[in-house]
Structure formats: structure tokens, C-alpha cells
Chain A
Amino acid sequence: MSLGELVLWGLVKFVAIVFGWVMLVATVLTYIERKQSAYVQNRIGPNRAWIGGKRFPLSATIGQILADAAKVLFKEDTEPPRGGNPILHQISPALAFIPALLMWIVIPFGPGPMPGAEGENWFLIADVNVGLLLMFAIMSVSVYGGVIGAWASNSGFSLLGGLRVGAQMISYEVTLGLNLVGIFMIFGSMRLNDIVWGQGDLAWGIVVQPVAFILFMVASIAETKRAPFDMPEAESELVAGYFTEFSSMRFAVFSLSEFIALIAVAAVGVTCFLGGWQIPWVDTPVDAAGVPVYGWITVAQVGIFLAKMIFLIWLQMQIRWTLPRFRYDQVMKLGWVYLLPLSLLNLFVTAIVMYLAR
């Protein structure tokens, strides 16, 4: 493809994936989470913003989302407290938001060409051969948003939250990265499309790497800073942690990027461990060159990918509202003393088993 075509399709895919799915789900999640937490805690939750006061299906959902967006947009955009850094304070939400959205460029929503086959992949933005490495590189950058925002706020609660978010995210990133090594070894690639092609029938990542899946779930919840790992923003200790001094859209962008990161991590979990877009015992139709022939099966596959993703998001939310929060020293100890050696052991055992079974 020429440069012009690459730019054009990059734009089209970006608009389709980011606005058609990611931003949509992230905004809906802000409502769903409050509603789900309300049902877990035997409350009603947000139920006031009906569209035009009419009680038709989804009226409260859409009404609440629109009301939230409008409210957040018209609230005062406060400067940081005296002694803070206004410029850093302004750009730090963007620093959290940009990597969260960029993580989506390597996630395949539907079938691409078979491993080794030449062809265009229409269901992901950038078909990079080091896909997951690129994603981890982008994910590492998202630490800066919280840490810089906390520093720019010049507030005690913010700074403590910022220290916690920095230490926690870098600790769990090691485990998160090491868990996927077993997947790379078994499927022999770091390109997410190839990994999904290897998971036909029920040879899913969760079947061949069950320990890694559990470790991945724990580490991914810690990486997205959600309960029981939400020490950086523990409201009973630190008010709101690193975004205590943020208001209006700056605050909304922080919480939105948290939701986007949550969906992105769920998408990686589905791609690596739950078979991605593969439907068990349904073969993807391909032509002689190994490029998929698109049809109704493709539609079903994209649908099943989204369904699996929603399941993982639901699981993470249920965990959040079910389990109590850890103590901070317990979180750090869990990461370094239990999860990291366990994932090293998992890697070691996988290497031995693959060597003996060759």
C-alpha cells in the first residue's frame, strides 16, 4: 500500500475503533459501574436523568451519560493550589488519556491473515510484529499522568497518591509482562493476530496457561488501579489520591482514561487467554493464500470477541465491588514476593514441558 492509502485507512480504523467502540463503552461504563455497585450494595443508584422525563428503555442510561458529559464540560476548570505547577497540572490528564487510547492500536477485533500469509488486516489499526511489546511500552508511559498530576497539585493527599500510583504500576507491570511470556512461547509470536490464530477450537490460552491467566487477571486489576488494588485513590485514606485537586474535565479525563485502560486490558486478556475472535469448532473461512473470506462468520466472530470482552469487564467490576481493599504494604509484597516468583516459575515450567514434549 502507498503512504496515502496507509494514512487513509489508519484514519478510518481509528474513527471506527476509538469512537465506535472504545469511547462508547468507556462512557457507558461510567454509568454501568455506578448502577452495578448500587445493586451490589442494595441501593438504586443514579435514576434521575430521564430523557425528557420519559421512562422508555435506556432513557435513564443515555440521559445520565449526556447529563454527566454536559455537567463536566460546564464546570469550573480550577487551577492547582498555590505553589503548584499550572502547566503540568493542565497536561497531566492528557498524559494519562493518550497512552490509554493508544493501547488499542494493536488489538485485533476480527480475523486477519493466517500466520505467514501476506494480506491486509482490516480489524486492527497497526499490524506490528512486536504487537504486545509495543503495547507494554505505551502502557508504561501512562504512569506519568498520575505522577506528574500529583506533583503539580502541591497537595499532601495528591502527592501520597502519586507516589503510590507510581510504585504500584511499575511493580505490577513486571508481572504483567512476564505472564505473557508463556503465551509467546506456546504460540511462537508476539503479533496478536498470530496468537489468536493459534487458539482454534479449545486450545485457548487459559487452557494451556491457566496459572498465567490468574496472575494476569490479578496484575491487570492492579495495573488499572481498581479495587482491591485502588490504594492510589483510596477514598477513605487519601480523599481521591492523585486527582484530589482536579476538577471538571481534567478530572473526567482521568477517570475516563482509567476506564479505557480497563477495557484495553480486558481486550488483551481475551486475545491472549480466551481465544480472541475464535469461536470453538467453527473454522474461519480462508482462501488459498490464507487470507480470510469475510462473511456472516466474521460478523459472529467480532460479536463473540466483544462478548468475551464484556464478560471480562463485568468480572473486573464484580471483583471491585466484592472484595475489600488491601493494605499498601500487602499490595507491594503480593506483587514482588508472590506474583513475580510465581510467574518466573510458570515460565520455567512451560519451557521444560515444551522442551520435553518437542
Chain B
Amino acid sequence: MDANYAPYVPVVIVTILVVGLAAVILLLNRMLGPRRPTNIKSIPFESGADPYSKPRTRMSVKFYMTAILFLVFDLEVVFIYPWASRYKAWLADDAFAPIAFGGMVLFVIIVTLGLLYEWKRGAMDWE
């Protein structure tokens, strides 16, 4: 077994087991519980009143904005990860330390500027 892939074998096994566990729990309830659907039960719950409007209507654009912001910043975080785990080793090398430091400072400054821009454009206001 290739040493690079060996740690991922348990990941696959556990994934299969966990999926099986979830399926067993949910199916057990399906078999053991009673099933008596009535007309009242199939109305969406709105505190006992008849449904006021269709639930699947348009939603605030703020949620889309948040999703786009998340994509951008989460990717940036993922870019920082490999650098962060090598930073300590790079600092030991005198010739490379300024490059390792300066490169990331530049990157973080650009990220911060992006964040400030989003903020000033009102992407984070929930008024």
C-alpha cells in the first residue's frame, strides 16, 4: 500500500460505516413507527392557522451576497493554509525568510483591501 494513500483507507471505511449507521437508524424508525397520514398533518405548520402564502417565494438578495463572499474568503483561507504550515520551516532558512514573510504580507493586505471594499459597498449591512 502506498504510504501516501494508506491514511485515507480508514476514512473510506468510516464513511461507509457512518452512512450505514444513519440508514439503519432512519429505516428502523420507518419500520417500527405507525404511519397514519391525515389531511391536517399534510398542511405546513403555521402555528395552527391555514397557510398564509406559498413558502417558496423570492428571498432576500443578502443571502446570495453572503454565499459569494463566503466563496471568495474561504478560498483565500485555503490558500493561506499551505503557507502557514510551512512558515516555521521557511523562517529557519535566512535567505528565504523575507520572501516567505513578504509574500504573505502582500496576500493578506490584498485580502484585507477586498474585505474593506465589500464592507464599504454595503455587502455586509443587514439593515
Contacts and interface: CB of A to CB of B under 8 A. Distances in A.
Interface of A: 1-3, 6-7, 9-11, 13-14, 18, 72-79, 81-83, 90, 93-94, 97-98, 101-102, 105, 125-129, 133-134, 140, 151, 153-159, 163, 166-167, 170-171, 173-174, 177-178, 181-182, 184-190, 239, 244-245, 248-250, 253, 328-329, 332-333, 336-337, 340-341, 344, 347-348, 351, 354-355, 358
28 contacts: A9-B10, A73-B28, A73-B32, A73-B33, A79-B42, A81-B42, A97-B18, A105-B14, A126-B10, A126-B14, A157-B46, A170-B70, A171-B69, A177-B77, A184-B85, A184-B87, A185-B85, A239-B47, A249-B25, A250-B29, A253-B22, A332-B126, A333-B126, A341-B112, A348-B105, A351-B87, A351-B105, A354-B87
Nearest to A72: B29
Contacts, number: 225
A14 B14 contact: yes
A93 B115 contact: no
Given A81-B43, A94-B23, A102-B15, A340 B115 contact: yes
A68 B121 CA distance: 50
Contact of B63 (A2, A167, A178, A347): A167
B18 A171 contact: no
Nearest to A257: B22
A184 B22 contact: no
A79 B39 CA distance: 12
B58 to A, nearest CB: 11
Contact of B33 (A77, A156, A167): A77
Given A94-B23, A128-B8, A140-B74, 16 more contacts: A3-B1, A14-B14, A82-B42, A97-B25, A98-B18, A101-B21, A102-B15, A126-B14, A133-B81, A155-B45, A155-B55, A188-B88, A332-B126, A336-B119, A340-B73, A351-B87
A103 to B, nearest CB: 10
B80 A181 contact: yes
B87 to A, nearest CB: 5
B28 A337 contact: no
Interface string B4-32: 00111111011101110111011011101
Kindly state the interface size class of chain B when it binds its partner.
35 or more
Contacts of A153: 44
Given A102-B15, A167-B63, A188 B89 contact: yes
A174 B85 contact: no
B124 A6 contact: no
Contact of A74 (B32, B36, B112): B32
A155 B44 contact: yes
Contacts of A329: 126-127
A66 B89 CA distance: 52
A14 B13 contact: yes
Interface in B69-110: 69-70, 73-74, 77-78, 80-81, 84-89, 91-92, 97, 101, 104-105, 108
